[in-house]
Amino acid sequence: MPDDENTGAASGDEPREPTTDYSCAGERHFADGSHLHGRGRLLTADHLFGLSVECLMKGLLERFAGPLGVSRRNSGGSDSPRLWWDDPDTGRRKPLGHIAEMRRVLPLLLDGRPGPSLTEALTRVSADYEQWLVDDRYTDGTHLDEPLLTRRQEAAVLAHDLHLHVQFTGKLP
């Protein structure tokens, strides 16, 4: 990890162009969300857990769902820093946005994999982040309830554990 989180450069190096790395971003958001959650900053932790889940799932989709149409090729066939997928319902190539938009694509990770831990993680992520909106960062937070925030934190832990499993084994459970 770089010494200087703000520039992404090691001490004394010139800053470099940013590189999209969903797994790295997901790890960072998870660590920061966990830190804030432990200090009672639940709303901001919830926001970071949502970003973490989104990034970690994109990292898994990029790694394992390429044969199923997920890649960084946009609808025009050009390389993109974003992930795109082939929507079977419309026959069109679409960008993968925030977690609420990605929920339809997550089942691609189950393709041919009956692992109960994978199924549980994806089910929890889909259910607990169904109403999560990145725009909640603009609200006063009074519409969110603590039990929901707890479920989302637990789902983020499942997503993070799934990510770690892949890091260690190179495969989905």
Asked if residues 37 and 145 have their Cβ atoms less than 8 Å apart, the reply is: no
Model confidence at 3, pLDDT cuts 50, 70, 90, reads very low
Q: What is the mean pLDDT of residues 49-59?
A: 94
pTM score, two decimals? 0.85
The confidence score (pLDDT) of residue 19 equals: 87
For residue 120, the number of C-alpha atoms closer than 13 Å in the C-beta half-sphere is 11
Nearest to 100, CA basis, from 153, 62, 48, 51: 51
Residues 106-154: tens digit of each pLDDT: 888 888 766 788 888 888 888 888 888 888 888 887 887 889 889 999 9
Alpha helices, DSSP H, located in 4-145: 22-38, 42-64, 99-102, 116-128
Residues 11-51: tens digit of each pLDDT: 667 888 888 999 999 999 999 999 999 999 988 999 999 99
Residues 6+ apart with CB under 8 A from 31: none
The confidence score (pLDDT) of residue 2 equals: 47
The confidence score (pLDDT) of residue 167 equals: 94
Q: Which amino acid appears at position 116 of this protein?
A: P
The confidence score (pLDDT) of residue 9 equals: 53
The confidence score (pLDDT) of residue 151 equals: 92
Asked if residues 98 and 54 have their Cβ atoms less than 8 Å apart, the reply is: yes
Q: Considering the domain delimited by 22-66+98-168, tell me its CATH architecture.
A: Up-down Bundle (1.20)
Residues 68-87: tens digit of each pLDDT: 899 999 999 999 999 999 99
